[in-house]
Amino acid sequence: MSGSFDSYFYDYYVAPWCRIGPYIVGIVTGYILASKKNKIRLTWPVALTGWLIAIATALAALYGLRGDIGGKHPSSLGVAALYNSVARSAWAAALCWLIVACVSGWGGFVNTFLSWSPFVVLGRLTYMAYLIHMCLMNIYFQSQDTLYYLTGVNIAVTFMAVLVATYGLSFIFMLGLESPMIGLEKVFLPKRRKD
């Protein structure tokens, strides 16, 4: 059992080439927004259609294998292969639509919620948390002297502990690494004047 988990984890879950689809979707979206200088004009029907497709796509990516997880309605091999090859890119495309809609003024209450000022602070910490969370999880699980029992309480306590430790260290690393680099960037790479 351990060998199949290791194979899945290293050959599929953490392999960078298995994440190239969402990366490309994000790069293309970023390029389009940069080239249009965040000024994308959408009509009402286009915005509504985009939101409907994005919501349907996100729900399909999120709940697409619900029958497989419960075991009552397993997917065929072809459907499972299609889901595994497309789901992450589809989820990224739905999120990119959300970004485009918010930038173009069609975000509505979603844009209001995501623009809430406490999210700015969390947004500064998120990338650092992304970088260090796997290291913290590896340290925690590799230092276990006994088996880890999967119970609801164990998972909840471990989740909260790793979450607090990750964001605490992210704050320290952000102050010690990221903020000084941003200051140096402002000194050595001043912004160009807009003509």
Q: How do the domains of the chain map onto residue ranges?
A: 21-106, 118-188
Question: Tell me, what's the pLDDT at 195?
Answer: 45
Q: Which residue has the higher pLDDT, 184 or 26?
A: 26
What DSSP assignment string belongs to 61-77? Answer: HHHTTHHHHHSSSPPPH
Checking if the pLDDT of 2 tops 80, the result is no
Q: What is the pLDDT of residues 161-178, one digit of tens each?
A: 999 999 999 999 988 988
Question: Tell me, what's the pLDDT at 132?
Answer: 92
Q: How many whole angstroms from its chain centre is CA 13? A: 14
Residues for the chain: how many in total? 195
Q: What is the pLDDT of residues 85-125, one digit of tens each?
A: 899 999 999 999 999 999 999 999 999 998 888 888 788 88
What percent of the chain is helix, strand and coil (3-state, nearest 5)? 80, 0, 20
Q: What is the pLDDT of residues 125-160, one digit of tens each?
A: 888 898 899 899 989 988 988 888 889 999 999 999
Question: Tell me, what's the pLDDT at 179?
Answer: 82
Percent with pLDDT over 90 in the chain:
45
